[in-house]
Amino acid sequence: MLTDKTAVVTGSTSGIGLAIAQQLAAQGANVVLNGFGDADEIEKLRVNIELQNDVKAYYINADLSQPDSTRQLIQQAVQLTGRIDILVNNAGIQHTDRIENFPTERWDMIMALNLSAVFHATAEVLPHMQKHGWGRIVNIASAHGLVASEFKSAYVAAKHGVVGLSKVTALENAGSGITCNAVCPGWVRTPLVEAQIEALAKKNNTDIETAAKALLAEKQPSLQFVTPQQLGNAVVFLCSDAAEQMTGTTLTLDGGWTAR
């Protein structure tokens, strides 16, 4: 489906981002990985994607909390591959606290990585997509881009911003062959969520699996975690011909969270 397309996926050395990159590669797309981690492990991931899917896979190390570094990621990807057809803005971090106690530096970092990096990568990639008359920008937002939860002021604000930015990007490029949509997952059992489960287990003096069930019961009516692979397939769909007229919208995979 995506043969000869090139995709950049931020935050793709583990978790959701890696699953998205793997699913895009499975459909024939060349992929550019980005993220932190052990260099040898990242190289193994890169090589495995190439061997398993007969595509080209690259890795670019960039600190997406810095605007110049984010834009350089896109520039380097174009230099390496010749073009970018798909951009998946996935990288993100989390911190929980009451607003009056929220550390300023954590607020600034969450805004920089979860929202500003999406803007800078999008702004840098759009001229390349416009030149070719085709592009897919998929922003990984969250159920928290649609509704709020206590203690997550920065994350909720940033993810609401991502949804709004996705709509503006879609409107400015409507009819050009370029679409922009936001995917809004519920609970996915990533290391970021695992830390919240561990904190809940400690707070309630329970084991990890009991805490995981309690976390799901609080928000996600299906009582099942969304899988990274399901999110990868959702991104593939948004890059397909079937989604050609889907732009400026949100695709929720949240087990019923936002239906309430």
Active site residues: 155
Q: How far apart are CA 223 and CA 236, in angstroms?
A: 25
Q: How far apart are CA 31 and CA 50, in angstroms?
A: 9
Q: How far apart are CA 151 and CA 127, in angstroms?
A: 38
CA-derived radius of gyration, the chain: 18
Do 121 and 10 form a contact (C-beta atoms < 8 A)?
Answer: yes
In terms of Cβ atoms closer than 10 Å to its own Cβ (0-12, 13-18, 19+), residue 260 is exposed
